[in-house]
Structure 1
């Protein structure tokens, strides 16, 4: 008997997309997976349909922008250049399950499903993905809201990253969401020993404007010589100037180092050499206020102490497990004041607590949610 055929759509580069890579690992247990995305094929899939990275996944053409402006959403939902290319690439293929990663993939997923069940992994809160950008707020946010209202009620399963955002989808669009966190596999690591007279800070992630990485650099410069900061930064599309500015900002401080990124699979092992994972994210959108990012789980698996800026979901987990400190604000002053509270004894205690939490804050529970969901969808087919 042939295995089910599964299509996984994500307008991202899958080799750098930790959440979708974990999703693919589960999907491959249940069928032969075809991926549709930017960038080269991820390992292990049966087939890959690559979309040219130059093609936007939103209708950013002159006619598309005009349609967004007049809210002619029915006529624009398949106008994005990447969506048109995706339809051509899929052709007459048929699948037993279609997975749409993020709201922008939902119309395409339903169009190519031909009656097969659709799983919509919304990741975060789609209507406010980038509402700190004026053009997004005026043109794209209403379109994303329309997509959710139009397609989520007929999507067979919906997932998101935490309970707070699941509740937003329930109250706003009347859909029940399962929670699949941005957790990573449990790693067989132990807290690394501290170096005498050193507190080694580390941050990993996208070099994206708005992520306040400059705040981490400036805070380190103001801290005493115990503190070092290592940055593992992923260049983001269209943000080369920001990454260059960070490298230049760090150049005059020998306690700040900028490194090339490492793969998601390697990241916890690399981070394990440090002491404190640090992250500051001003709450410009609902997703920022309700964040529960990949890096939180990567840092726990790396057995690091944590210092994060305040956010509802991460605050609760840091407090519950005794993982570190929460900066009450988002500026350099607040971060410096928070980091100055650390000493060797407290960092070692937080690292031990992360070691205990790593047995629970990993992907096993989330993979079980996905396994059950996929089995149910395929059996209904």
Structure 2
């Protein structure tokens, strides 16, 4: 039985991509997982990492290091990195999986002679390029990590073809694409009620996603349409702004989020999943998120803007509508023309697509890479 270490600077129990790796590998391997938060309910050795303190003076100190280009000093003195080395530095592994570029240097340090697989959840060098301060502090730093560590990886994976191609173009690597799809949920489409089309959007309340565009969209739709937001409270101030923007329309509700394993089951009672994501940075332009696949697994029709990665899959499976632009009025125009028959057909198409767009398919690629490396 091989010893495998998974590292992620995230709350493991609520990180869907990391938890899918855990579920795939637990039982058949001696699995150690290092990250934040409580111990996941899994057959693993869990190593809880300490986070760096969030004091203002401390942040200024780290910012100065980044501005001066002291990248190694910045990295190796972060509390989570030091914590991992203290707890795992004497351990031996057959394979180390680094989730995101931020954990790659640590993965190589802990791996010794063992191979390292880097799973890039996003295109890290341009993740928040729409924010000037992020570009100033982290742009050069993350590019430096990518240039030094990605070519050393025995294997690399990422979430979609557009991001894989950019990593290949800039850093000369060849990432394998493993989608952010959940396991096959084996759900059936729920009936569409005549005269009603129930829309839902779920995810994090992140300001740069411009979620208010979907509130604006409702102003162009007739009374058949309702929209529920099921948002994690990641930015309380922004979530309050969204509630204020929607309070004049009784068709818009904000409902409590459900635990990650229950998302698809909860979505199943709706008709269409909506995600209108303006391409304010590279990752948003090439977004192919968990929620797209969760909409499909929940047997919903899907309504999106012209995001190429999502649009290509949607058109291939004919399971929804793609707006002509990212404007609220444009997606509303695509939705307004739908009737009960069309929405029913979309839900049936997602039901068929769910048999292919699931982690059983993508997990086979990861298992193959693990077998090859370990």
Shorter-normalised TM-score: what interval? over 0.9
Give the aligned partner of residue 297 of structure 2. 301
- Equivalent residue runs for 1:188-227 within 5 Å: 188-227=186-225
Does residue 253 of the first structure (1) align with residue 266 of the second (2)? no
Taking a change above 3 Å as real, the CA distance of residues 54 and 263 of structure 1, as seen in their structure-2 partners, is: farther
Please report the TM-score for the alignment, with normalisation by the length of structure 2: 0.95
Taking a change above 3 Å as real, the CA distance of residues 339 and 55 of structure 1, as seen in their structure-2 partners, is: farther
Give the aligned partner of residue 110 of structure 1. 108
Give the aligned partner of residue 243 of structure 1. 239
CA distance in 2, matches of 1:327, 1:113: 46
Give the aligned partner of residue 264 of structure 1. 260
The alpha-carbon deviation at position 267 of structure 1 amounts to 1.0
Taking a change above 3 Å as real, the CA distance of residues 53 and 226 of structure 1, as seen in their structure-2 partners, is: farther
Give the aligned partner of residue 30 of structure 2. 32
Deviations 1:114-156 (A, max 9, x none): 2221110011211111111111111201111110110011111
- Equivalent residue runs for 1:1-381 within 5 Å: 3-52=1-50, 55=53, 61-236=59-234, 239-378=235-374
Is the Cα–Cα contact under 8 Å of residues 83 and 108 in structure 1 kept in the other structure? yes
Please report the TM-score for the alignment, with normalisation by the length of structure 1: 0.93
The alpha-carbon deviation at position 55 of structure 1 amounts to 4.3
Please say which of residues 290-299 and 254-263 is displaced more in the overlay.
254-263
Taking a change above 3 Å as real, the CA distance of residues 61 and 164 of structure 1, as seen in their structure-2 partners, is: same
Deviations 1:92-125 (A, max 9, x none): 2222221110011111111111222111001121
CA distance in 2, matches of 1:252, 1:90: 54
Taking a change above 3 Å as real, the CA distance of residues 55 and 42 of structure 1, as seen in their structure-2 partners, is: farther
Is the Cα–Cα contact under 8 Å of residues 220 and 329 in structure 2 kept in the other structure? no
CA distance in 2, matches of 1:116, 1:69: 33
**Count of equivalent residues:** 372
The alpha-carbon deviation at position 341 of structure 1 amounts to 2.1
CA distance in 2, matches of 1:334, 1:84: 49
Q: In structure 2, list runs of 5 or more residues that go unmatched.
A: none
Taking a change above 3 Å as real, the CA distance of residues 164 and 60 of structure 1, as seen in their structure-2 partners, is: farther
The alpha-carbon deviation at position 52 of structure 1 amounts to 4.0
SS at match of 1:132: coil
The alpha-carbon deviation at position 60 of structure 1 amounts to 6.8
Is the Cα–Cα contact under 8 Å of residues 214 and 276 in structure 2 kept in the other structure? yes
CA distance in 1, matches of 2:223, 2:317: 29
Q: RMSD in angstroms over aligned alpha carbons?
A: 1.8
Taking a change above 3 Å as real, the CA distance of residues 264 and 301 of structure 1, as seen in their structure-2 partners, is: same
Deviations 1:8-55 (A, max 9, x none): 111111222111111111221431222111111111142212234564
Taking a change above 3 Å as real, the CA distance of residues 254 and 53 of structure 1, as seen in their structure-2 partners, is: farther
SS at match of 1:43: coil
Q: In structure 1, list runs of 5 or more residues that go unmatched.
A: none
CA distance in 2, matches of 1:85, 1:252: 49
Is the Cα–Cα contact under 8 Å of residues 272 and 302 in structure 1 kept in the other structure? yes
CA distance in 2, matches of 1:301, 1:376: 30
Taking a change above 3 Å as real, the CA distance of residues 45 and 245 of structure 1, as seen in their structure-2 partners, is: farther
Deviations 1:274-312 (A, max 9, x none): 001000111111111111110110000111111111111
SS at match of 1:223: coil
CA distance in 2, matches of 1:55, 1:317: 42
Is the Cα–Cα contact under 8 Å of residues 10 and 37 in structure 1 kept in the other structure? yes
